[in-house]
């Protein structure tokens, strides 16, 4: 094992009470390293450190906070190839995608360096003569961050950066299968000029570390990205104690392809959205809704495109799809593929594991022809598995697109301004794509969904201020 990844609490690197292997899903014989596992007691220590650091950091100058974030963003961008390689080793995303994610994380820190200098406020005239009214934003306090494994640099960045920009202190719990990326971010932050305790990293099991974090009375807010069951459980706990909470959870995103679409572009949108990053994106196009008039041609072209995709080691040149990130996720994917068969779906491509030069969690991109009630159409899979649905016309396609408990992202491929405009207005999703893959968003605009996909204020961009600050109204008599 080549490297040890430890937690960072109150300005100190701590090994914790145990250790575990950091697996390389492209090569199970060559682990990335090992990581220290913290317990509930160290998690409590991290929250206490963040609470102790809060009064001074909350009153720090906007320039100080901007300088810290700019330093972090600049170093991430300068080291994007190195950090991207670590991400590819640890999570299994292809190297070009991993380098792109590292660059995005750097851009997010840079963006919020600017936002630290632009914290909004208002001054209004009162309805009473001789009285002024000021509306200001103040930090919400100690922020707990629970991040997933599928974007181990970008998602922590878009949570940590605004938290610090607006004067909050942070306790960050990453997913256990990506400790190296979390450690790398923490190591850069440890040299960025932050006072002791402002940023803390705790690596450990969710049932131990996450629970201790949520239950701590000094935690003021919690932002979570992950599964629907965990998010719903956290929401109940937060409601019971009045904790401010932000949740990003599941997606079952539709891509509608109309008969007037540029078919080559539509196939690329579908394949990119459904299968790149091994389908492990909450914005992935997992439901492909195709108008009858072009259904057969779309299927044939998609099958031909999938046959050209190369599955393999994330670091290998020319690979389009890396391994599934973990054995647990691979088992979930295979179970859903079997469910697709059991429900009577027609397997059009893939459906099996792939053997490569090194032992890893490799799975072929999988395409089913399905029906609206099938499990693979209703439930989030989070892997390279997509379901095709037929639609008689645009109206039925829109109805099928909205027939989901989720509402994160929705896409349409069409040459019609009429249908594109109508879809943007009537798709029940927080984000809509026209002639683009459903996966792939900019770092400076809001991210989030509707229905079971999201809860609370939006993430990213200037809208992040809604979660990471609290509003104060002050009246002054002249």
Q: pLDDT category, 2, cuts 50, 70, 90?
A: low
Q: Give the number of other Cβ atoms within 10 Å of residue 473's Cβ.
A: 10
Task: List the single range of 14-28, 246-260, 342-356, 422-436 with lowest mean pLDDT.
Answer: 14-28
In order of 88, 278, 417, 450, the CA distances from 321 in angstroms are: 11, 5, 33, 29
Nearest-angstrom CA–CA distance, 69 and 109: 5
Nearest-angstrom CA–CA distance, 332 and 328: 6
H-state helical runs in 24-79:
40-58, 62-78
Q: What is the mean pLDDT of residues 35-49?
A: 96
> For the chain, what percent of residues have pLDDT higher than 70?
100
Tens digit of pLDDT for each residue in 72-121? Answer: 999 999 999 999 999 999 999 999 999 999 999 999 999 999 999 999 99
pLDDT score recorded for residue 19? 87
Q: Give the number of other Cβ atoms within 10 Å of residue 421's Cβ.
A: 11
The average confidence (pLDDT) of the chain is 97
Q: pLDDT category, 1, cuts 50, 70, 90?
A: very low
User: Comparing C-alpha atoms, which of 228, 212, 179, 193 is closest to residue 75?
Assistant: 193
> Would residue 461 be called left, alpha or beta, if left means φ above 0 and alpha means ψ between -120 and 50 degrees?
left
Strand locations in 275-365, DSSP E? Answer: 285-291, 346-349
In the 8-state DSSP scheme, what is residue 276?
G
Residues designated catalytic? 248, 282
**DSSP labels for 109-139?**
HHHHHHHTT----EEEE-SSTTEEEEEEEEE
pLDDT score recorded for residue 16? 84
């Amino acid at each position: 094992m080549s490297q040890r990844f430890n937690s960072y609490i109150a300005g100190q690197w701590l090994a914790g009470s145990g250790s575990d292997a950091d697996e390389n899903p492209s090569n199970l014989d060559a682990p990335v390293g090992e990581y220290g596992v913290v317990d509930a007691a160290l998690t409590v220590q991290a929250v206490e450190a963040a609470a102790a650091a809060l009064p001074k950091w909350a009153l720090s100058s906007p320039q100080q906070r901007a300088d810290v974030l700019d330093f972090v963003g600049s170093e991430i961008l300068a080291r994007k190839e190195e950090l991207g390689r670590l991400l590819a080793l640890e999570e299994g995303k292809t190297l070009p995608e991993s380098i792109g994610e590292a660059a995005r994380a750097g851009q997010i820190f840079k963006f919020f360096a600017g936002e630290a200098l632009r914290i909004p406020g208002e001054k209004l005239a009162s309805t009473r003569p001789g009285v002024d009214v000021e509306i200001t934003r103040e930090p919400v306090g100690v922020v707990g961050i629970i991040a997933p494994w599928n974007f181990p640099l970008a998602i922590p960045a878009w949570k940590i950066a605004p938290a610090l920009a607006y004067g909050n202190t942070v306790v960050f719990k990453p997913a256990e299968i990506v400790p190296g990326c979390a450690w790398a971010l923490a190591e850069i932050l440890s040299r960025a000029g932050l006072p002791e305790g402002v940023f803390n990293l705790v690596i450990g099991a969710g049932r131990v570390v996450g629970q201790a974090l949520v239950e701590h009375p000094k935690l003021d807010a919690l932002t979570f990205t992950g599964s629907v069951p965990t998010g719903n459980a956290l929401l109940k706990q937060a409601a019971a104690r009045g904790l401010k909470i932000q949740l990003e959870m599941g997606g079952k995103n539709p891509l509608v392809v109309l008969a007037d679409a540029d078919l080559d572009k539509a196939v690329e949108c579908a394949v990119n959205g459904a299968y790149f990053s091994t389908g492990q994106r909450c914005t992935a196009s997992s439901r492909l809704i195709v108008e009858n008039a072009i259904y057969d041609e779309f299927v044939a072209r998609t099958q031909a495109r999938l046959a050209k995709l190369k599955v393999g080691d994330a670091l290998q040149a020319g690979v389009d799809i890396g391994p599934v990130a973990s054995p647990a996720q691979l088992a979930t994917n295979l179970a859903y593929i079997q469910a697709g068969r059991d429900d009577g779906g027609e397997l059009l491509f893939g459906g099996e594991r792939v053997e490569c030069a090194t032992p890893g969690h490799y799975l072929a991109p999988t395409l089913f022809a399905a029906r609206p009630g099938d499990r693979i159409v209703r439930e989030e899979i989070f892997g390279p598995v997509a379901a095709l649905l037929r639609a008689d016309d645009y109206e039925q396609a829109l109805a099928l697109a909205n027939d989901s408990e989720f509402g994160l992202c929705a896409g349409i491929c069409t040459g019609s301004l009429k249908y594109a405009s109508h879809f943007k207005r009537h798709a029940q999703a927080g984000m809509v794509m026209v002639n683009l893959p459903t996966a792939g968003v900019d770092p400076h605009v809001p991210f989030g969904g509707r229905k079971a996909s999201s809860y609370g204020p939006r993430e990213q961009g200037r809208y992040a201020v809604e979660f990471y600050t609290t509003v104060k109204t002050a009246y002054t008599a002249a």
